[in-house]
Amino acid sequence: MAKPNKRLPERVVDIICTSCKTRLYKYHKNGKGSLVKCFKERIAKDFCDVSCICPTCGQEFAREQMIRGSVAYKIIGGKAKIS
């Protein structure tokens, strides 16, 4: 399988926790679809102290996985959204 593009997309979005509305990441998102996974190299700014855990409410919102040979955070359904 092909790796994600090295060139970062222009669109930068905020990813927030759905339960407490805390900002989790600033992320270079490609496409107009829903948020399914976040590639680690596309994260512009990380607001989390521990990876994949919300700093305010302590809820796990993603799981770390290898996708297409790169480290990515697979979002758990309904735990994080684009703002």
- The percentage of residues in the chain with a pLDDT greater than 90, rounded to a whole number, is 77
**Which pLDDT score is estimated for 1?**
67
Q: Count of domains in the chain?
A: 1
Domain-embedded: residue 6: no
Token digits for 47? 């607001």
The answer on pLDDT for 61 being more than 90 is yes
Domain-embedded: residue 49: yes
Domain-embedded: residue 7: no
Domain-embedded: residue 5: no
Domain-embedded: residue 4: no
Which residue, among 76, 75, 72, 83, has the nearest Cα to 23 in the 3D structure? 83
**Domain of residue 34, residue span:** 12-82
Domain-embedded: residue 3: no
Mean pLDDT of the chain: 91
- The percentage of residues in the chain with a pLDDT greater than 70, rounded to a whole number, is 94
CA distance 23 to 25: 6
